[in-house]
Amino acid sequence: MIRRVVVVATLSFAATGCFQVTTTDVQVRDGRAVALVKNSGETVLAPSSAPTATEATVERGAYPYLFSRQPFDLRASRDSRGAIDLRCDTCADAPYPFAGTDHVELLDATGRTAPTLAWLVDQGTSSTRVTFDVCMVSGRFCRVSAKLNLVIPAGDVVEVRRRTEPIRVWGYMLLAFSVVAAGVGVYALASPATGATLGDRAPWAAAFFIPAFTLGGIGAWTAFAPVQEQVWRP
């Protein structure tokens, strides 16, 4: 039994990386120089130097709900400042048990892209591609989704910021579990069965103390470790 606990504890330390997330965002000089492109290669919003608002359809259709289908019209727009949004007016009214949103901002008015997972940012010599897998209506799985890319010319990139942050809620949960495990270990050590010696009780207590210290260490690191940032500028 104790051997299994030690193995579990060792694997828990190795899995610490599962309790953090790394995202990347890009700062651009002019959002109007950025193109919005589908994964298929089709351009939704082409670069434009004109300070005018533009809008284009990303996808139009309907998703199944019980014995009917719910229509949606997913559109992309760029305002005069260069900010790029996705909008779906009917998605926010998705019927229960679905949940939807009517607006997702991919590029804000200051030229900062929305954070995306680090491996979805591809820095090439001529351009930087930032990929988004957006879900506008979700249930057990996504009902209305869009896989889109912001293609940024190399000369328009101001900086690329990579941010690694622990998932704090996991840290607090692990700390709570460690306290419970330690409490059970103390009880096993201090409240022996009739006739049990301290030597008999110690292995049972250790079976709870080992995961308690392991989970407590991982939990403390996850809950209180500082955010790490790396910034690259051309």
Q: The whole model's pTM is what?
A: 0.74
Confidence of residue 55 (pLDDT cuts 50, 70, 90): very high
Q: Spell out where the chain has E strands.
A: 20-28, 35-38, 43-45, 54-65, 68-78, 84-87, 99-100, 103-107, 116-117, 121-123, 127-138, 142-153, 157-166, 228-232
Lowest mean pLDDT among 11-15, 43-47, 173-177: 11-15
